[in-house]
Amino acid sequence: MKTMSSFPSLFPGMLLDAASRYAQDHAAAAELPGDPVRELGWTATLVAEEAGGVGGTLADLASIVEGLAGQGLQLPVVESCAIVPLLLQAAAPETATRWLEAVADGSAQIAPLTALSSMPDDTVVQARHLDIGFELNGTVQGVDLSLPASHWLVPAEVEGETGLFLVDAERIGAPAARYRTMEGRRGADFRLARLAVPAGACIARGAAARDALAAAADAALLLTATDTVAALATLLQQTIGHLKERRQFGVTLSTFQVLRHRVADMYVKYLGAKGLVVHCFHAHEQKAADLRRTLRLAKVSLAESARACAEAAIQMHGGMGVSEEVLATRLAQRLIASEFRYGDRLAHTARLHRPQAEAAAPAFQSNLTGSAR
């Protein structure tokens, strides 16, 4: 059986250690005290130094994600620390700096009003221009509500182009429904019906908003992939430890060849997933032209590997594998839920095939025309 040293960290460093320690200390807590994401300064990670942040990179934020995921703690780091700063950068310089400073020092609690199950750039809210502002209409399902929000960032379609709206939480109002998600998050549905907002609420429109949403979507996919690999590593360690400790027929479960083969299969899938994430980060740093395609392919591959490993781990844990008190069970839930974060594998597969279908359509129509003649 592989030892713990066979699972080196993806993004080692002080941020990983701090996040991992915090997650260990609060793993058993039913409710987390305060607002840890902002109190620990993580929201300042991607904010530039001139705006009061630390000027970090997506790899720095990935260290935090890895530390939390490895201990099974669920916090909206992707939403609060990546999506929000990236979207705010689309605003005019003065507006962007003011709000980024507020995000960095924690004086504003901004969260994206986007569905966890779809890409940030898949807008569902429609905005209509009024004489004194805008009117927002739409239903957003599956919004993360783990931490309090003073403002919501709302992507919307405005007269045929993309727009970003920063709206006070009191104006948005209470959600239409609240619930607990599979991996333990607090989720909610929001219905915006003829919601009037001032003209200044629209902080970006057109290409700037569209590019910011695309960057946020790429970051969300990258960090979710990191979360998946970190959770997968710990799940594998937990499974190995369980097989070494539990006994059946007078011997440890780790002596059964079929179980050793299943663990080996999990380990191979983990190594493949880890290498894929490293490749995706390299493509992101190099600003590869086909980055979105690479991320979609990674999403499909990671979803399949994570689900297979989660199911195998639950089965090898036996009855314990269905108890949420067991870390391995929570990690398995996390891995399965991650498949549906920011688009599931079927949605991304469909988007991957769409350009091919669009390219084939003219030729197909031409053949039909020729046949008719």
Q: Please check whether residue 284 lies inside any domain of the structure.
A: yes
Q: Is 108 helix (H, G, I), strand (E, B) or coil?
A: coil
Range of the domain at 299: 210-359
Residue 177, in any domain of the structure? no
pLDDT at residue 358 is higher than 70: no
Show Cβ contacts of residue 150 under 8 Å, excluding neighbours closer than 6 positions. 108, 109, 110, 168, 169
Helix (H) or strand (E) holding 251: strand 251-252
Residues 6+ apart with CB under 8 A from 59: 11, 281
For residue 302, is it within any domain?
Answer: yes
**Residues ≥6 apart with Cβ < 8 Å to 224:** 78, 299, 338, 341, 342
Band (360; pLDDT cuts 50, 70, 90): low
Output 17-20 pairs: Cβ under 8 A, ≥24 positions apart.
Answer: 17/67, 18/64, 18/67, 19/63, 19/64, 19/65, 19/66, 19/67, 19/68, 20/67, 20/68, 20/70, 20/71
Mean pLDDT of 300-322: 90
Q: Look at strands 110-112 and 133-144 and give their pairing.
A: unpaired
Which pLDDT score, from 0 to 100, does residue 292 have?
A: 95
Higher-pLDDT residue of 135, 248: 135
Give 366 or 70, the one with higher predicted confidence.
Answer: 70
pTM: 0.91
Query: Residue 85 above 90 pLDDT?
Result: yes
**Which pLDDT score is estimated for 357?**
52
Task: List pLDDT tens digits, range 221-272.
Answer: 999 999 999 999 999 999 999 999 988 888 898 889 999 999 999 999 999 9
315, 356 Cβ separation under 8 angstroms = no
297 part of a folded domain: yes
Q: Which is it for strands 186-198 and 202-205: parallel, antiparallel or unpaired?
A: unpaired
* Cα→Cα distances 306→30, 139, 313, Å: 26, 30, 10
CB 154 within 8 A of CB 197: no
Looking at every residue in the chain, the average pLDDT score rounds to 91
Question: What is the pLDDT at residue 373?
Answer: 43
In a domain, 345, yes or no: yes
Query: What CATH number is attached to the domain comprising 323?
Result: 1.20.140.10
Percent of the chain surpassing pLDDT 90: 80
Angle made by CA atoms 88, 84, 289, in degrees to the nearest 5: 80
What mean pLDDT is predicted for residues 132-149?
A: 95
CA angle 12, 16, 20 (to 5 degrees): 130
As for how many domains the chain has, the answer is 1
Query: Is 199 inside any structural domain?
Result: no
Residue 372 has pLDDT above 70, yes or no: no
Domain contains 170: no
The residue ranking higher by pLDDT, 5 or 16, is: 16
> pLDDT tens for residues 156-191?
999 899 999 999 999 999 999 999 988 888 999 999
pLDDT for position 369: 45
Band (pLDDT 50/70/90 cuts) for residue 285 is very high
* Res 33 pLDDT > 70: yes
Indicate if the pLDDT at residue 278 is higher than 70: yes
Closest of 244, 228, 267, 289 to residue 70, by C-alpha = 228
What residues does 134 pair with on adjacent strands?
Answer: 129, 197
